[in-house]
Amino acid sequence: MTDILIEDDMTRAKRGITWMRLEEALGGTGCPICSQIERSEKHYLGNLLYEYVLDVGVRKKLHREHGFCTRHAQLALEAEKELDSDGLHLATMFETVIEENRRLLESQSKQLEIMAKETKKRRKKISLHSIDVSKCFVCDFVKESEGIATHGFLYFANDKELIDIYEKSETLVCFRHLQMLVKEKVSAQIIDATLKKVNKINRDLSNFIRKHDYQSSHDYTKDELRSYRTAVNYFAGDYRW
Ligand SMILES: [Zn+2]
Ligand SMILES: [Zn+2]
């Protein structure tokens, strides 16, 4: 009888894109889920400017949501710069959005003018239509990417190799994503591995503060010097808004 090597699901999965992205993210710093989302988000915005400037669907979304949110406006401007462009992509995308906005403001101005002529009593009863601006359609894409990255992490969360890489890596799953994993009943080992990292931050913070004492040598380690940033970033991640 010949030995037939049957490849298990995990071995096969580790040749897939999900594992490759996860492994790459674990080779960096910060939250390995946040960094995967950020990568997709930047890629999405770059493509948006480059390929979809004339895409009617994108135009519609941009109109419907009145431009980008603060984060994605910033990233869109950076993406434009990366294309070595003088701004023509965003100019084309925003031309009609601005035109429509102009019409909206004209009509609001008219309504306000009419209202100003009313008596105080009647004015109180009239309600004006104002626009609530919050998230944008790139935020919707981010939400989707977050689901994919979180589920990718969960898929491998019981794998010894994953836990090993995570323990040794400089990454730290942010509190928000950690809670998403807990909600999905992630393996306790991931939480324990994170706890070790959080314990280290705790020690570094205490040492950093203690060494500020005038009697101390002020001999800080690199980790102690950045402990306050690590603590702030652990809670904030890149996608808590
Ligand atoms: Zn995160
Ligand atoms: Zn957005």
User: b/e for 130-164, b at 16 or more Cβ within 10 A?
Assistant: eeeeeebbbbebbeebbeebbebbbbbbebeebbe
Distance between Cα 25 and ligand 1 center (Å): 11
Ligand closest to CA 173: 1
Encoded amino acid at 176, one letter:
R
Distance between Cα 32 and ligand 2 center (Å): 20
Band of residue 4 on the pLDDT scale cut at 50, 70, 90: low
Ligand closest to CA 72: 2
Residue 237 in contact with residue 176, Cβ under 8 Å? yes
Distance between Cα 231 and ligand 1 center (Å): 13
Distance between Cα 31 and ligand 2 center (Å): 20
For the chain, the structural domain boundaries read 14-124+131-236
Q: Please write the tens of the pLDDT for every residue from 146-190.
A: 999 999 999 999 999 999 999 999 999 999 999 999 999 999 999
5 has a pLDDT exceeding 80:
no
112 token code pair: 């306000």
pTM, 2 dp: 0.87
